[in-house]
Structure 1
């Protein structure tokens, strides 16, 4: 007999739904609009993300990369993160499974991964300023990425019954924002660093 369905199984728990754009103009007009919408700004922080390849499964072997393992060091905190993007074989991803946990000793995690033959494949060094809408549904991140430029990311943080519902919420927010955004970017920062 199958176990009963819980509310967590019908929401986007452990699922990330986001959209990224390259900012071609200044960020201040977008921030001014967010302020008028009563979104709350966070404190800018430097994030150094180191990406690893697994010894048992080459994340880079396929033409379309769908999996990333990352260690992030940010100010006084650190985290370990794994993402698997869907649809797996599609160039245009809609969402990802995301599993992340804080770690107290990033150096120990780095040494652990090296001892298990995980290889560093990319480093993304960026300064992020994250804003949150007044209802907490959407996070808006302004990223200054070393050697890549300026980007803006919109991530759904609320509760939704499906990826489609979360995506629709993002689409509506971005349209209502009325901001002059650059081209939509369908690749993650490690993709761009690697030229993929």
Structure 2
């Protein structure tokens, strides 16, 4: 399932309880890092036009390097998404990529400024995000082996359930949606 992302995101009312459980499972946190994600709209197709946004183009800048990322969620026309195609690559010269997008008439949409702490387990990556002007969140991303998206989703749900830690509301939209005031 290379290039496919299956993840679940929640508000996090008590990050320390969840971190304690992750430590008990043998996970260790990364050093928190600041990520600044600049999102762009395409000139040939308005990503914001559909009722349910299904794609983003992003440039990420952080201390450990920069990247460009395109993500398209499925089912495309549905409000609740199950997974995404995700294509990401490191970028050596982020300013060149910004200028390239500008010359091709890609327009800046929104910037997401967050602090991220990553926890790795064998089949799941857990990240804690503090997003400026949006709040605190936890994301669980499936990193194991699965034959299908449904299988990956079931394994992820089973892992989250096994934690026995109270999570907040499940968030079914990305940080750009939140900052742009979009429900879908």
Residue 125 (structure 1) aligned with residue 141 (structure 2)? no
- Deviation, 1:76, is 3.5
Structure 1 ranges of 4+ moved more than 6 A:
none
- Match of 2:19, SS state, is helix
Residue 157 (structure 1) aligned with residue 139 (structure 2)? no
Return the TM-score normalized by structure 1. Answer: 0.91
- Deviation, 1:23, is 1.1
Aligned partners of 1:93, 1:40: CA distance in 2, in Å? 30
| Structure 1 segment 1-196 matched on structure 2, within 5 A | 12-24=1-13, 26-133=14-121, 135=122, 137-196=123-182
Return the TM-score normalized by structure 2. Answer: 0.97
What is the aligned length?
A: 182
Aligned partners of 1:187, 1:76: CA distance in 2, in Å? 26
- Deviation, 1:40, is 2.4
1:84-143 Cα deviation digits (max 9, x unpaired): 00000000000000000000111111111001100000110000001011x2x1000000
Counterpart of 1:4 in structure 2 is: none
Structure possessing the higher radius of gyration over alpha carbons: 1
Aligned partners of 1:16, 1:148: CA distance in 2, in Å? 23
Aligned partners of 1:189, 1:128: CA distance in 2, in Å? 13
User: What is the RMSD of the two structures over their aligned residues, measured on CA atoms?
Assistant: 0.7
Aligned partners of 1:76, 1:165: CA distance in 2, in Å? 33
